[in-house]
Amino acid sequence: MQTPMSIPTTFNAFRIHSERHGHHRAGVESVSLDDLSPGEVVVKVACSSVNYKDALAGTGRGGVVRRFPLVGGLDLAGYVVSSTDPAFKEGDAVLCTGCGLTEDRDGGYAEYARLEAKSVIPLPAGLSLREAMILGTAGFTAALALLRMEANGQRPEMGPVVVTGATGGVGMLSIDVLSRAGYEVHAITGKFDRLDELLALGATQVIDRHGLYWGQRPLERATWAGAIDTVGDEMLAGLTRHVKTWGNIVSCGLAGGTALATTVIPFILRAVSLLGVSASNAPRPLREQVWQRLAGPWKPANIERIHTRSVGLDGLAATFSAMLAGAAFGRTLVEIDPTAAN
Residue 122 to residue 291: CA distance in whole angstroms? 10
Residue 187 to residue 175: CA distance in whole angstroms? 8
Residue 152 to residue 185: CA distance in whole angstroms? 18
pLDDT given for residue 4 in this prediction: 46
- Count of Cβ atoms closer than 10 Å to residue 56 Cβ: 18
What structural domains does the chain harbor? Answer: 4-123+312-340 (3.90.180.10), 138-276 (3.40.50.720)
pLDDT given for residue 24 in this prediction: 87
- Count of Cβ atoms closer than 10 Å to residue 52 Cβ: 23
pLDDT given for residue 96 in this prediction: 98
Q: What residues are paired with 161 via a beta bridge?
A: 185, 226
SS3 for 46-59 is EEEECCHHHHHHHC
pLDDT given for residue 83 in this prediction: 97
pLDDT tens digit at each of 342 positions of the chain: 444 447 899 999 999 999 877 788 999 999 999 999 999 999 999 999 999 999 999 999 888 999 999 999 999 999 999 999 999 999 999 999 999 999 999 999 999 999 999 999 999 999 999 999 999 999 999 999 999 999 999 999 999 999 999 999 999 999 999 999 999 999 999 999 999 999 999 999 999 999 999 999 999 999 999 999 999 999 999 999 999 999 999 999 998 999 999 999 999 999 999 999 999 999 999 999 999 999 999 999 999 999 999 999 999 999 999 999 988 899 999 999 988 877
Q: For 7-31, b where at least 16 C-beta lie within 10 A, e where not — what string?
A: beeebbbbbbeeeeeeeeebebeeb
Q: Kindly report the length of the chain.
A: 342
SS3 for the chain is CCCHHHCCCCEEEEEEEECHHHCEEEEEEEECHHHCCCCCEEEEEEEEECCHHHHHHHCCCCCCCCCCCEECCCEEEEEEEEECCCCCCCCCEEEEECCCECCCECCCCECEEEECHHHCEECCCCCCHHHHHHHHHHHHHHHHHHHHHHHCCCCHHHCCEEECCCCCHHHHHHHHHHHHCCCCEEEEECCHHHHHHHHHHCEEEEEEHHHCCCCCCCCCCCCEEEEEECCCHHHHHHHHHHEEEEEEEEECCCCCCCCCCCCCHHHHHCCCEEEECCCCCCCHHHHHHHHHHHHCCCCCCCHHHHEEEEECHHHHHHHHHHHHCCCCCCEEEEECCHHHCC
